[in-house]
Amino acid sequence: MSDFDQWRELAQQFRVDSIRTSSAASSGHPTSSLSAADLMAVLMAKHLHYDFDEPENPNNDHLIFSKGHASPLLYAMYRAAGVIDDEELMTYRQLGSRLQGHPVPRALPYVDVATGSLGQGLPIGVGIALAAKQLDYLPYRVWVLCGDSEMTEGSMWEAFEHAGHFGLDNLTAIIDVNRLGQRGFTMHQWDVDAFAKPAEAFGWRTIVIDGHDVQAIDDAYSEAVGTPSSPTVIIAKTIKGKGVTEVEDRNEAHGKPVKDAETAIKELGGESNIAVQVSKPVTDQAPHTFEVAGAEIPTFKVGEEVATRKAYGQALTALGSNRGDVVCLDGEISNSTHAEIFTKAHPERYFEMYIAEQLMVAAAVGVQVRGWVPYASTFAAFMSRAYDFIRMAAISGADLNLCGSHAGVSIGEDGPSQMGLEDIAMFRAVYGSTVLHPSDANQTAQLVWQMADLEGVRYLRTARPALPVIYEPDEQFEVGGSYVARRSDDDKVAIVAAGVCVHEALEAAETLAGEGLNARVIDAYSIKPIDAATLREAAQDTGGRLITVEDHWPEGGLGDAVLDALAESELTLRVVKMAVRKMPGSGPSKDLIKDAGIDAESIADAARKLAETEG
């Protein structure tokens, strides 16, 4: 039997298993799997290099199903590789099964990242390919199976543009052009030029093939591997539901199990048990490591005016001098986020992602797949563009550090389009996330260094204005803690703040003290996890009188984090939430803070009124 015949039989087995799994689950996407079966059969049998006995092998190729709904096909491949058996295959989509509806790395070590939200696999693949060429210095390849429907996502074209710019010749995108989406025809149907021409313009090698011709598929993969200096996209014209009369090229069949599975399986040739010996990695090299000179955490003098965004850049640079696994990405504003300091010190570990926040976060996810520790920065407001990538990173169990600068109305004259006023709420809602908002440079530096060893999505919120350093360098700021910046034995109210609002709170407390009214000031720099014990103590000591102050909308920010922490308290609470409650405009920072009602004078007024209430 020729290789071609063997590949055709393997593809039929993939089709049969895709029908069997989805029929057992009474849900799934078998037709999306059937169209790509030939493409994956040839890849797995000849071109993929992967040691399934050692999924952590740094030389393994990476296969990403950007069209994650075709998971029945992926799991059929795993059965052929012998890493799941037929009994497990039939647990597809059942509670507790590793074979979830869309692939998840928490469940299977062969899956790099969670997919299923379309438009993400190829951008993440760019990050992995960048890691191979510029960090690991290893020849592994990245293969990404894409759906034609998801090619309308802008993130896919961000990936095409950047991969071409970086010359990622170790990256191959395979577009399954089956012309049918969820509710009908895709935008371009079988117009392959609609994919080929823009890809060529972005510097990709384009190969158009019949996606069911195994010889053409083999030739295309060989050409992709042999193409230097540019990534390759294989545009494969396919038929959705290929091989099953009931669903082949039919609009209404998407996302549903085949009604007559028995007949469909018989039509495909019946069940089989072909095993595939996937080729091992082409080398056994160790990944590259970067030598570092070592550095101490930067420190700043009390009273010195330093923006927390600048402290971020300095602390990250020092961290990079201390740890060779730290990598920096930025969205073309490194002179504002101050990531540029890292860029100059460690250019070999810096990636300029330009104005493409979705791709920046996706690339950071890809880089961490290979064990690197990414820090990615842009304005806090622009993180919202990448939110779907951030929440999917949490599903992937990804470890990455994100820094949003220029948060809140305190940025001043640039106005509301640049003001991150939703970011705390956004990141608090991410599963397993850490949310930090330092108030001075020494605090910032310590938190930047601690972030590197945390798990999950870590977010640091920094501000634009240069404000006085208020803490000595030897003060300790642990994630999950807070700092009581002012207290007495007779505090009538407690003011809980973070970031620039800590400075306003301290000024308000000083004014109130001159009037004989003592106010405790808690710097809640760790918003998630929050220091509930210190908050409960403050509530107990002040008769439940708390004021929260934040340069953020009132929904989902610090105030809500405080209320959540005290939700089960038996104390009677009187909480005043001070936040930005009207649409800001342009103006000097201090004027905008005052106009928003989160300045020292407004805080003092609120404290006076609250102190008059019964404890």
Q: What are the catalytic residues?
A: 357
Question: What whole-number distance in Å separates Cα of residue 308 and Cα of residue 288?
Answer: 33
Q: Which residues contact 126 (CB under 8 A, 6 or more apart)?
A: 159, 162, 163, 166, 168, 171, 359, 362, 363, 366
List all residues 6 or more positions away from 85 whose beta carbon is below 8 Å from its beta carbon: 79
Pairwise CA distance, residues 143 & 129, whole Å: 10
CB 463 within 8 A of CB 500: yes
Residue 142 sits at the vertex; the CA angle it makes with 167 and 216, to the nearest 5 degrees, is 95
Work out the angle between the directed axes of helices 3-25 and 71-81 (0-180°, nearest 10): 120
Are 579 and 554 spatial neighbours (Cβ–Cβ below 8 Å)?
yes
Q: Are 451 and 401 in contact (CB under 8 A)?
A: yes
> What is the DSSP code (8-state) at residue 221?
H
Question: Could you give the CA distance from residue 298 to residue 154 in angstroms, rounded to a whole number?
Answer: 39
**CA distances (Å), 600 to each of 91, 469, 561, 605, 607, in order?**
60, 18, 22, 9, 10
Euclidean distance between CA atoms 199 and 213, whole angstroms: 23
Phi, psi of 434 (to 5 degrees): -120, 135
What is each CA distance from 22 to 139, 473, 501, in whole angstroms? 36, 59, 54
**Pairing of the two strands 457-461 and 350-352:** unpaired
